[in-house]
Amino acid sequence: MFIKLTKSGSRQYLQLVEAFRDNLGRPKQRTVATLGRLDLLGDSLQSMRDGLTRLLGEHESTDINADPCNGMPEFESSRALGDLWALNSIWKQLGLDELRQTLRQHTRHKIDIEALLRLMVLNRLCDADTKLGLLRWVQTVSLPESDLKAVSHQHLLRTMDALIEHQSVVEDAVAAAVRPMVNAELSVVFYDMTTIRASGLSEQDDDVRKYGMSKEGGIARQFMLGLVQTAEGIPLYHEVFNGNTAEVGTLKDSLQKVMARFPIQRVIAVADRGLLSLGNLEELQGMTTPGGQPLEFILAVPGRRYHEFVELLEPINSQAAATSTPTTTPTNETPELVDEAQWQGLRLVVAHNPYRANEQNQARDQQIAALETQAAQWVGKLDGQDGGQRSRGRSLSDGGVRARFYHAVSEAHLRRIIKVDLKSELFTYDIDEKALALARAMDGKLLLVTNVKDLRPEDVVARYKSLADIERGFKVLKSDIEIGPVHHRLPNRIRAHAMICFIALVIQRVMRAKLKAQPVKDVVSPDRALSILRRIQTHRVVLNGSKPISGISTINPEQLAILESLGVKKPTHTTRYINL
Radius of gyration of the chain (CA): 36
- DSSP β-bridge partners for residue 241: 224
CA-wise closest residue to 198 among 489, 477, 457, 492: 489
Asked whether residue 430 is assigned to any structural domain, the reply reads yes
- pLDDT computed for residue 411 by the predictor: 93
Return the amino acid letter for 79.
Answer: R
Long-range contact pairs involving 66-70 (C-beta distance under 8 Å, separation at least 24): 66/545, 67/544, 67/545
Q: Which residues contact 534 (CB under 8 A, 6 or more apart)?
A: 80, 82, 83, 126
Residue 293 CA, distance from chain mean position: 33
Phi, psi of 299 (to 5 degrees): -120, 140
Write the burial class of residue 145 (CB in 10 Å: 0-12 exposed, 13-18 middle, 19+ buried). middle
Map residue 348 onto helix, strand or coil.
Answer: strand
| pLDDT tens track, the chain, 580 positions | 778 888 888 888 888 888 888 888 788 888 888 888 877 777 777 777 777 777 776 655 444 344 444 557 788 889 999 999 999 999 999 999 999 988 888 777 788 999 999 999 999 999 999 999 999 999 999 999 998 999 999 999 999 999 999 999 999 999 999 988 888 776 788 888 899 999 887 777 788 999 988 888 888 899 999 999 988 889 999 999 999 888 777 888 888 888 888 877 788 888 887 776 767 788 888 888 777 788 888 988 887 777 778 888 888 888 888 887 776 788 888 889 999 999 888 999 999 999 999 999 999 999 999 999 999 999 998 888 888 887 777 788 999 999 999 999 999 999 999 999 998 889 999 999 999 988 888 899 999 999 999 899 999 999 898 888 888 888 888 888 999 899 998 999 999 999 999 999 999 999 999 999 999 999 989 999 999 999 999 998 887 777 888 899 999 999 999 999 999 999 988 899 999 8
What is the helix, strand, coil percentage profile of the chain, to 5? 45, 20, 35
For residue 474, being part of any structural domain is answered with: no
Q: Which residue in 259, 167, 204, 117 sits closest to 495, CA to CA?
A: 167
In degrees, to the nearest 5, what angle opens at C-alpha 49 toward C-alphas 48 and 54? 100
User: Going by C-beta distance under 8 Å and a sequence separation of 6 or more, which residues neighbour residue 574?
Assistant: none
In a domain, 77, yes or no: no
Contacts 24+ apart (CB under 8 A), 183-186: 183/230, 183/264, 184/262, 184/263, 184/264, 184/265, 185/264, 185/265, 185/266, 186/264, 186/265, 186/266, 186/268
Q: How far does CA 261 lie from the centroid of its chain?
A: 24
Residue 267 lies in a domain: no
**Phi, then psi, of 464 in degrees rounded to 5:** -65, -40
Which of helix, strand or coil describes residue 549?
Answer: strand
Backbone angles phi, psi at 474, to 5 degrees: -65, -35
Domain-embedded: residue 24:
yes
- Say if CB 547 and CB 573 are below 8 A apart: no
Q: What is the domain range of residue 52?
A: 2-60
Query: Closest Cα to residue 269, out of 380, 153, 377, 187?
Result: 187
Query: What single letter denotes the amino acid at residue 372?
Result: E
118 contacts 134 by C-beta, under 8 angstroms: no
Question: Cα dihedral sign for 450, 455, 457, 462?
Answer: negative
Give the single-character DSSP code of 233: S
Asked if 419 and 405 count as a contact pair (C-beta separation under 8 A), the reply is no
d(CA 121, CA 134) in angstroms, rounded, equals 11
For 156, other C-beta atoms within 10 Å of its C-beta total: 23
Q: Give start and end residues of each alpha helix (H) in 336-449.
A: 354-386, 398-411, 433-442
pLDDT at res. 543: 79
Q: For the chain, how far is it from start to end, CA to CA, in angstroms? A: 42
Whether residue 303 is contained in a domain is answered as: no
C-alpha 280, offset from chain centre: 29
Q: What is the DSSP string of 58-73?
A: ------GGG-TTTT--
Of 40, 60, 80, which residue constitutes the final position of a domain? Answer: 60
75, HSE (Cβ side, Cα atoms, 13 Å): 6
Which helix (DSSP H) or strand (DSSP E) does residue 255 occupy? helix 251-261
Kindly state whether residue 509 falls inside one of the protein's structural domains: no
Give the total number of structural domains in the chain.
2
Q: In whole angstroms, what is the distance from residue 348 CA to residue 200 CA?
A: 45
Asked, for residue 374, whether it belongs to a domain, the answer is yes
Q: Among 60, 77, 106, where does a domain finish?
A: 60
Nearest to 297 by CA among 188, 457, 193: 188
SS3 225: strand
**CA–CA dist 488, 503 (Å, integer):** 18
SS3 478: helix
Closest C-alpha to 118, from 504, 547, 562: 504
- In whole angstroms, give the CA distance from residue 482 to residue 310: 43
The rounded distance, in Å, linking the Cα atoms of 445 and 358 is: 11
Q: How far apart are CA 163 and CA 157, in angstroms?
A: 10
Domain end (from 36, 60, 84): 60
Amino acid identity at 98? E
What is the model's pLDDT at position 66? 46
Residue 427's closest CA among 449, 411, 408? 408
pTM attached to this predicted model: 0.77
